[in-house]
Structure 1
Amino acid sequence: MLEIQGLQAGYGDSQVLFGLDLSIEAGQVATLLGRNGMGKSTLLRCLVGWLAPGGGRIRLAGQDITGWSADRVARAGLAVVPEGRQIFPNLTVREQLLAFAANRHEASEPWTLERVYALFPRLKERQQNMGNELSGGEQQMLAIGRALMTNPRLLILDEATEGLAPLIREEIWRCLRQLRDSGQTILVVDKYVQRLIQLADRHTILERGRVAWSGSSEQLDADHGLWQRYLGV
């Protein structure tokens, strides 16, 4: 579903990514791990079309999307739940979901308003509320629902549980498990390693713009030295 080969990127004279390789198979849940400043955000910016790579290739479902604009990448089937949610304050929940509704790749069981409401019943209760009237947890549910309404081939979640109350955080993990079980291909950036081990198939750790380690949940769970070496503060 996603293949990254030799990706290089940076800002001006400051290079951040150095020949990075990463791949995700269709239906897999993968994670991107690493301390702050190791290149995770830069990689995501390249994927979604917010930053043009300085070298290398990005392929989505076999199609070369390297250097495409963000709107073109979105139409190709990549959806992102951004850090900070970035919902529209002056649109209702229902309006925001319908504004993103599309099934460009003819999914056999597409995401609809009713399906999103079934995943997040709270959004149905709040469907006539404006974005700025929602709690942080409700805004996060809306951001995920909005991305799903595009019926993406690849769903990226950037710090989707950051700053949420424990009960709401559990709701987001439940949602991700349900999406995984439905066969949705997902790339997750988050800091809760133990929860990610329970959720994901593969993990990639970045260190100074390079892949420091890649492996399965079983391998990551068995080597807590990796956590201390690459993820500890």
Structure 2
Amino acid sequence: MTSPGVAPGLLRVQGLCSGYGRSQVLFGVDLHIGEGEILGVLGRNGMGKTTLVRSIMGLLRPTGGTVELGGRAIVGLAPHRVARQGIAVVPEGRQVFANLSVLEHLTAFARGGHGTAHAWTIDRLLHLFPRLAERRSNLGGQLSGGEQQMLAIARALATNPRLLILDEATEGLAPLVREEVWHALSTLRQAGMSMLVIDKYVRRLIGLADRHVILEKGEVAWTGSSAQLEADRSLWSRHLGL
């Protein structure tokens, strides 16, 4: 059921089954994200979160189920074609190019918006991440880990996606840098960006996301609002080990 006040139909995943060779990881996963909505995806390590992202993006071909973006089926499309439909991913591990400058990263990925009134221009991205503005001429390999993460997010936004997927965007960052990233995500929320966010920092994710899905052994073990997740701490210990 879609949250009140949120338009349905941006991303819809139904009955998704996927895995690696003979090893099945996802077993009939259902989820949806409306326009302007943020969905948190939670679960212990190895429960299928990254496999879910890879299956949505076409990096893995699902063995069952459907994935639709804006009502259009995208299962079976090559990753670059999925991206052109309007999904951008900030992958776990950043994956910036060591020999490209900050500006070269953003210029290479820049693309017009999907009907958005306020496109993510390079100037706007540098305003979102002042550290990158200060290091605009630095190569990717010269940036700190936190700066590389900011660049990975800015690079994804440069494509002006309809949906932004972040896979452990704050993992391994120093506390101060992590707060800068959460602040940037809050700014994206205020700007109406639709997001699927995978992160282990439950308290911060509760403050950001509208709804949450908890994956347990490749299945949806629970789904509900931030208020419901905040109120039921037994979910934290039972499914997240917190």
TM-score by length of 1: 0.98
Name the counterpart of 1:221: 230
Residues 1-233 of structure 1 aligned to structure 2 (within 5 Å): 1-103=10-112, 105-232=114-241
2:15 and 2:46 map into 1 onto residues whose CA distance is 19
Partner amino acid, structure 1, of 2:153: I
102-111 vs 83-92, greater mean Cα deviation: 102-111
Give the aligned CA root-mean-square deviation in angstroms: 0.8
Q: Is the 8 A contact 1:117 1:123 kept in 2?
A: yes
Identity among equivalent positions (%) equals: 62
SS in 1 for 2:32: strand
Quote the offset at 1:104 in angstroms: 5.1
8 Å CA contact retained: 1:8, 1:19 = yes
Q: Distance in 1 between matches of 2:109 and 2:39?
A: 25
Given that 2:17 and 2:26 are in contact with CA atoms closer than 8 Å, whether structure 1 keeps it comes out as yes
Distance 1:223 1:104 in 2: 39
Structure 2 distance, partners of 1:71, 1:185, is 20
Query: What is the deviation of 1:63?
Result: 1.0
CA distance in 2: counterparts of 1:131 and 1:13, whole angstroms: 37
> How far apart are 1:106 and its partner, in Å?
3.2
CA distance in 2, matches of 1:11, 1:177: 35
Amino acid corresponding to residue 89 of structure 2 in structure 1:
V
How far, CA to CA, are the matches of 1:89 and 1:80 in structure 2?
19
Give me the whole-angstrom Cα distance separating, in 2, the residues matched to 1:230 and 1:132: 37
Q: Give distance in 2, aligned partners of 1:97 and 1:166.
A: 26
CA contact under 8 A between 1:75 and 1:104: conserved in structure 2?
no
Runs of 4+ more than 4 Å apart: none
Q: Is the 8 A contact 1:87 1:131 kept in 2?
A: yes
C-alpha distance in structure 2 between counterparts of 1:77 and 1:121, whole Å = 26
TM-score (norm 2): 0.95
CA contact (8 A) 2:42 2:49 kept: yes
Question: In 1, distance between residues paired with 2:180 and 2:206?
Answer: 17
Q: Distance in 2 between matches of 1:12 and 1:131?
A: 34
- Matched letter for residue 222 of structure 2: W
**Shift in Å at residue 12 of structure 1?**
1.3
Distance 1:195 1:122 in 2: 22
Q: Hey, what's the Cα distance between the residues in 2 that align with 1:81 and 1:10?
A: 21
